[in-house]
Amino acid sequence: MDDMEKCWGILPNVSRSFALCIRILPAPLNRQMMLSYLVFRVIDTVEDSSAPLAAKKMMFAEFLSLLSRGGANDAASGACARKMLARLDYTYEMELLEALPSLVRAYFSLPSGARRAISKRARVMARGMCEFQKKPIETFADQDRYSYYVAGVIGHLFNDLLEFNGIITSRLKRQLSRYAQKFGLALQKVNILRDIADDIASHRYYWPKRLLAKYGLGYHDICSSENREKALAVLHEQIKDARAYIDAAMQYILLLPKKALQVRMFCLIPLFMAIESYVKCMNNADVFVPGKKVKISRECVGDIVAKSGMWGANNERLVKWFAASMGNVPGGITDFAVMRA
């Protein structure tokens, strides 16, 4: 098995949803995005660990240096992998960390332009994750900034790679840049919505502290059954905040070239999966029960994949699908300009 095949094999073990979408993309964009995701997943594993901040900074720097060399260095990659395996918390990420030399070799098989785009965004992500290791999320602005580092940068990377592969022009890239970051934030904000109980149980705090305090709550008691009414009021404000980002994500897709159906499907599937979860979170007290994560069925996922293929090149039909899926969610604007991309 060569390095690229090994990385493809690891992908479903670290993200089923991404593995579902990535193979839809045309080559070589699919390989570039697959390796990008694994690179970012390594960075995310470092962030999520309970290792001291100094150790995390060291591992970020060491890993990023592997991507900035003139080529793959198996000895350096192996040493970095051993340090991460010894010092980080992980479960299903173990296979990825063990395969770090293969990931780095596969990364260096990419064209230099693609590598530069990936390493540039990876550095921004790592720097932002370091920033929020000791910086609490006090406001929605803080939540936006954190979400930019962990997801918004990926929207920009996708734009970079679309241009690099000749799928979009530099002019269209500038238009898409208005929405690319918000596309990533939309997906991240839905994750933050639905994962609140499990995140708090794992000592991860992404809802704005000041928003909780507005209703007399804190992270220690928002999930208590006696505080359900207040917690649902906080949830409502989170729902309203996320709406505009979901609208922007839809506008991003409408701007993509209609002939690039595979690219549109790659974006449509995670967005409409997120929308299904988002709508299920509305006024749903289960959000605050650990272990009761809001999920969508396999049948629903299959339906989204099918509709993305059938309607992906038809902006008018996509807008109708979006409006029907969102229903009466508060806030946001759904009067899209249906672009003739």
**Are 227 and 221 contacting, i.e. CB atoms less than 8 angstroms apart?**
yes
* Average pLDDT of the chain to the nearest whole number: 94
Which residue in 45, 66, 43, 46 sits closest to 54, CA to CA? Answer: 46
From 248, 254, 243, select the one nearest 318 (Cα to Cα): 254
Identify the band that residue 272 occupies on the pLDDT scale cut at 50, 70 and 90.
very high
CA distance 325 to 314: 16
Yes or no: say if 55 and 141 are a contact pair by the CB < 8 Å rule: no
Domains along the chain with CATH numbers: 3-326 (1.10.600.10)
Angle at the Cα of 198 (from 195 to 200), degrees rounded to 5? 100
Model pLDDT for residues 154-164, shown as the tens digit of each residue: 999 999 999 99
- Residue 42's nearest CA partner among 55, 18, 57, 59 is 59
- Two tokens, residue 298: 């396999």
Q: What is the DSSP letter of 289?
A: S
The per-residue pLDDT for 21 is 94
pTM metric for this prediction: 0.94
CA angle 300, 32, 35 (to 5 degrees): 80
d(CA 18, CA 43): 17
Please tell me the distance from the alpha carbon of residue 217 to that of residue 211, in angstroms, as a whole number.
9
Distance from chain centroid for Cα 330: 23
Is a pLDDT exceeding 70 seen at residue 337?
no
104-133 pLDDT, tens per residue?
Answer: 999 999 999 999 999 999 999 999 999 999
- Which one, of 231, 133, 145, lies nearest residue 189 by Cα? 145
Cβ-based burial of 190 (10 A; exposed 0-12, middle 13-18, buried ≥19): buried
Residue (of 256, 120, 240) closest to 177 by Cα position: 256
Calculated CA dihedral for residues 39, 45, 48, 53, nearest 10 degrees: -80
Compute the average pLDDT of residues 327-340: 60
Q: Is the separation of the CB atoms in 34 and 130 below 8 Å?
A: no
Q: Is 89 left (phi over 0), alpha (psi -120 to 50) or beta?
A: beta
| pLDDT value at 240 more than 90 | yes
Residue 18 to residue 279: CA distance in whole angstroms:
21
User: What pLDDT, in 10s, does the model give residues 284-301?
Assistant: 999 999 888 888 999 999
Is the preceding omega at residue 28 within 30 degrees of 0, hence cis?
A: yes
What value does the CA radius of gyration of the chain take, rounded to a whole number of Å? 20
Per-residue pLDDT tens digits for 17-76: 888 899 999 999 999 999 999 999 999 999 999 999 999 999 999 999 999 999 999 999
